[in-house]
Structure 1
């Protein structure tokens, strides 16, 4: 049974938060399971992590989750939309920040005919003190319906880098064309795979790249469907696929799964979020199938 089906089935043992949302436990983690007429989705309270999203018009999830993802306390979940904050990559320890490893609070859960809206928040506490000593407040709002919208807002007295590390479900990596990335990027691998067409990405080896001058709208076509990603106040987009060898080396990623996903991530890396204690700084994205 697929991991998505297992999570959806866990709803049966959960507590109802609204007509379409139940809170259950999956592995070691509290999870919000969403079954709405417009979509199915799930969110882990650890990391405020959108695990998957599948509009009712689609036969497979648009936001993808690995079959081997871990659901353990303080362990990152492979797939979905991990929230990398308040730093990206190896700019601090743990890698990609601590926000994805600690439990957030559910502030609100609302639904209507268009879908479900959630707000989750995290404030400095005993759990976060080990990683980061400055006071902060961060919110993640998630809308899931026929579209998926995620916005990260934060306050504090520091600069933060961040990524909404979105894993997109695709039919076959060999058929993928990503457009709208622009022509300037920072290569993060020792062997560069130069784009055949500037601003476009096709994948035939490992990819790990930060695009620094992207269009507001990016399209990801895989021969079966076109996913439209609209960036809101993002400064960069990271593209990532582990390819064959790295996929085999990762315990929380099945050997062949590199063929069915690609990461196209809205980020604030080269232009960090400049936080103040009183004013929210925010960025995010909207995803739809066109």
Structure 2
């Protein structure tokens, strides 16, 4: 049984949230499991983490979850859409911020024939203040149906870097390309993987690159589908794939997992989010399929 099927069939139900959403206990996490006529999806309350999203007419998930993902308290989940905030990378500890390993609260739920909308919230607490001595309001809004829209909203009196570290499911990493990335990038690896076409990326080795002037729309062109990634209020796009050796070294990835996902991340890195206490700053992404 796949991990997605295991989550969808989870019998440790805590409560019914709405007609198409159940809250369940899965290992050490509480999940919101969505089974809507237009899609199936799940969100962990830890990290407001979208685990997967699969429209009902798609054979494989669009937002991809590792078959060996670990659901342990305080540990990051491999796959889905991790929320990196209020810093990106290893600037401070923990890496990529505390938002993805902290429990959020379900603030609001609505659903229609077009899909479901969920808003999760996080505020400062004794634990966050130990690593980030600031007050803040943080909300993550998901609109899930034929498309997947995710929006991060934050208030405070500081600046923050952030990423929606999305894993996209692909048929085979060797046969895809990502377009709309732009000319300028920061290479995070010592190896060289020059693009064959300016602004596009194909894959034959590990990739970890920050594109600093990307288009607002990227596509992942696969053999059987084209994933449209529409970023808004972003400044950067990160492209990442660990390739074979690093996949084998990660205990939450199968050895060949790297072949079946690519991360195309919606980011605010080189232009941090400038927060105020008066109104929410926001950025996000909308994901859809183009046939």
Band the TM-score falls in, shorter-chain normalisation: over 0.9
SS in 2 for 1:134: coil
Alpha-carbon displacement from aligned partner over 1:13-49 (angstroms, at most 9, x marks no partner): 3411100000001110000000000000000000000
Match of 1:219 in 2: 219
More moved, 120-129 vs 203-212: 120-129
Match of 1:36 in 2: 36
* Conservation of the 8 A alpha-carbon contact between 1:43 and 1:49: yes
Supply the RMSD in Å over aligned alpha carbons. Answer: 0.8
Match of 2:273 in 1: 273
Match of 1:9 in 2: 9
SS in 2 for 1:92: coil
> For residues 148 and 100 of structure 2, what CA distance do their matches in structure 1 show?
19
> For residues 111 and 92 of structure 1, what CA distance do their matches in structure 2 show?
38
* Aligned 1:240-279 pairs, distance under 5 A: 240-279=240-279
> For residues 134 and 13 of structure 1, what CA distance do their matches in structure 2 show?
35
Match of 2:283 in 1: 283
Unaligned runs of 5+ in 2: none
More moved, 215-224 vs 160-169: 215-224
TM-score of the superposed pair, with normalisation by structure 2: 0.98
> For residues 132 and 67 of structure 2, what CA distance do their matches in structure 1 show?
32
Match of 1:174 in 2: 174
SS in 2 for 1:224: coil
Deviation (angstroms), 1:126:
2.0
Deviation (angstroms), 1:135:
0.6
Runs (4+) of structure 1 exceeding 6 A deviation are none
* Conservation of the 8 A alpha-carbon contact between 1:64 and 1:80: yes
Deviation (angstroms), 1:12:
6.6
> For residues 192 and 4 of structure 2, what CA distance do their matches in structure 1 show?
34
* Aligned 1:56-75 pairs, distance under 5 A: 56-75=56-75
> For residues 224 and 235 of structure 1, what CA distance do their matches in structure 2 show?
30
Classify 1:36/1:245 alpha carbon distance in 2 versus 1 (closer, same or farther; 3 Å): same
* Aligned 1:27-176 pairs, distance under 5 A: 27-176=27-176
> For residues 189 and 11 of structure 1, what CA distance do their matches in structure 2 show?
44
* Conservation of the 8 A alpha-carbon contact between 2:179 and 2:199: yes
SS in 2 for 1:60: coil
Deviation (angstroms), 1:11:
5.6
> For residues 82 and 11 of structure 1, what CA distance do their matches in structure 2 show?
25
TM-score of the superposed pair, with normalisation by structure 1: 0.99
SS in 2 for 1:283: strand
Count of matched residue pairs: 290
